[in-house]
Amino acid sequence: MHNGIDDLLGIGIPAIVLGLTAIILMVQRELGPFGKLSAGGKWLLTGAFGMGILAFALKVSVAVAVTRMPERLIGAAAPPPLEAPSALAEKVWAYDGAARQPEKYVWQALPLTAPEPPGNTSTPEKVALGKRLFDEPALSADGTVSCASCHDLGGKGGADGQRTARGIAGQIGGRNTPTVWNAAFQSVLFWDGRAASLEEQAQGPILNPQEMGMPSPAAAADRLRHIPAYREAFARAFGAGQAITMERIAAAIATYERTLITPDTPYDRFVRGDQQALTAQQLRGMARFEALGCVTCHQGPNFSDASLLGGRVPRRIFPALPSTFETRFDLSPNRHADGLERGAWRIPSLRNVALTGPYFHNGSVEKLSDAVRIMASAQLGASVDGATRPDGALHWSATGRVLSQVERRNVSDRDVADIVAFLESLSSERLVARAYAMK
Ligand code: HEC
Ligand code: HEC
Burial class of 330 by CB neighbour count within 10 A (0 to 12, 13 to 18, 19+)? exposed
Could you tell me if residue 109 is inside a domain?
no
Sorting pLDDT into bands at 50, 70 and 90, what band is 355? very high
Strands 393-397 and 343-346: unpaired
Residues 281 and 354 in one domain: yes
Residues 142 and 178 in one domain: yes
Could you tell me if residue 91 is inside a domain?
no
Sorting pLDDT into bands at 50, 70 and 90, what band is 321? confident
pLDDT, tens digit, 9 for 90 and up, residues 248-300: 999 999 999 999 999 999 999 999 999 999 999 999 999 999 999 999 999 99
Residue bearing the CA closest to ligand 1, atom 3? 150
Instruction: Identify which of 292, 293, 290, 340 has the alpha carbon closest to the alpha carbon of residue 319.
Output: 340
Which residue among 177, 181, 255, 304 is best mutated to probe the pocket of ligand 1, counting the most ligand atoms within 8 A of its Cβ? 177
Q: Is 211 a catalytic residue?
A: yes
Last residue of a domain, one of 28, 61, 77: 77
pLDDT exceeds 80 at position 315:
yes
Rounded Cα gap, residues 136 and 74, in angstroms: 93
Residues 357 and 423 in one domain: yes
At 134, which CATH number? Answer: 1.10.760.10
Residue type, 302: N
Q: What is the mean pLDDT of residues 378-387?
A: 80
Residues 325 and 399 in one domain: yes
pLDDT, tens digit, 9 for 90 and up, residues 215-248: 999 999 999 999 999 999 999 999 999 999 999 9
**Sign of torsion, CA 283 285 288 293?**
negative
Q: How far is the CA of 211 from the centre of ligand 2 (A)?
A: 26
Could you tell me if residue 102 is inside a domain?
no
Last residue of a domain, one of 210, 231, 257: 257
Rounded Cα gap, residues 211 and 169, in angstroms: 9
- Looking from the CA of 227 toward its CB, the CA atoms found within 13 Å total 16
pLDDT of the residue at 264: 95
Active-site position among 211, 232, 247, 429: 211
Could you tell me if residue 105 is inside a domain?
no
Q: 153 CB under 6 A from ligand 2?
A: no
Instruction: Identify which of 310, 298, 313 has the alpha carbon closest to the alpha carbon of residue 380.
Output: 298
**Sign of torsion, CA 106 107 112 118?**
positive
DSSP letter, residue 384: -
Question: Which atom of ligand 1 approaches the CA of 168 most closely?
Answer: 1
* Domain region containing 331: 263-438
Residues 251 and 274 in one domain: no
What predicted TM-score, i.e. pTM, was given to this entire model?
Answer: 0.78
Residues 71 and 124 in one domain: no
Could you tell me if residue 355 is inside a domain?
yes
Q: 420 CB under 6 A from ligand 2?
A: no
pLDDT of the residue at 93: 36
Rounded Cα gap, residues 293 and 128, in angstroms: 41
Q: How far is the CA of 78 from the centre of ligand 1 (A)?
A: 77
Residue bearing the CA closest to ligand 2, atom 10? 347
Residues 275 and 368 in one domain: yes
Residues 422 and 342 in one domain: yes
Q: 303 CB under 6 A from ligand 2?
A: no
Provide the b/e sequence for 113-141 (b: ≥16 CB within 10 Å): ebeeeeebebeebbbbbbbbbbebeebbb
Residues 241 and 207 in one domain: yes
Residues 344 and 393 in one domain: yes
Residues 267 and 413 in one domain: yes
- Region for residue 170 given its phi and psi (left: phi exceeds 0; alpha: psi -120 to 50; beta: otherwise): left
Pocket lined around ligand 1, Cβ cut-off 6 Å: 134, 145, 147, 149-151, 165-167, 173, 175, 177-178, 180, 183, 186, 189-191, 198, 201-202, 205-206, 211-212, 253
Residues 226 and 141 in one domain: yes
- How many angstroms separate the Cα of 153 from the Cα of each of 104, 134, 255, 435? 36, 11, 16, 9
Number of domains the chain contains: 3
Average pLDDT, the chain: 85
